[in-house]
């Protein structure tokens, strides 16, 4: 699996967009980018994943750069319930998920 690098923590004002960056400069062509989040003391929750095209679902948008070396998870209108640790994982279809330390997002009222 490609190594991913995320900032350890971020703050975001409630109602504003939260943009969470992830670097995966060693990603290979068949590796997908997955995003999960973990609210305190709960199991991780799947958010979104993509290969090279930008993706959007009801929870978030995923923007992947053209060279695929980095991506950004966008929560368009952050709420207090979005406070969590966000994990970016780059993995191919043959491997399981290894979670790093993620980004601790705090949404501020």
Residues that bind another protein (CB under 8 A): 32, 34, 36, 41-46, 49, 93-102
Cα(35)–Cα(1) distance, integer angstroms: 14
Q: CB nearer to another protein: give 41 or 53.
A: 41
Question: Any idea what DSSP says for residue 40?
Answer: T
Q: CB nearer to another protein: give 21 or 32.
A: 32
Q: CB nearer to another protein: give 17 or 39.
A: 39
Question: Any idea what DSSP says for residue 41?
Answer: T
Smallest separation (angstroms) from another protein to the CB of 3? 13
Smallest separation (angstroms) from another protein to the CB of 15? 27
Could you list the beta-strand ranges (E) of the chain: 9-13, 18-23, 31-38, 45-50, 55-56, 61-64, 70-75, 84-92, 103-108
Token couple for 17: 């967009």
Smallest separation (angstroms) from another protein to the CB of 87? 8
Smallest separation (angstroms) from another protein to the CB of 94? 5
């Amino acid at each position: 699996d490609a190594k991913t690098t995320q900032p350890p923590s971020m703050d975001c004002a409630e109602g504003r967009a939260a943009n969470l960056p992830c670097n995966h400069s060693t990603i290979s062509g068949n590796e997908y980018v997955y995003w999960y989040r973990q609210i305190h003391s709960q199991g991780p929750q799947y958010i979104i994943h993509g290969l090279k095209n930008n993706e959007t679902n009801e929870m978030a948008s995923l923007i992947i750069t053209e060279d695929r070396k980095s991506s950004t998870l966008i929560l368009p209108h952050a709420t207090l319930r979005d406070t969590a640790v966000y994990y970016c994982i780059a993995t191919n279809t043959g491997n399981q998920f290894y979670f790093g330390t993620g980004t601790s997002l705090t949404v501020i009222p």
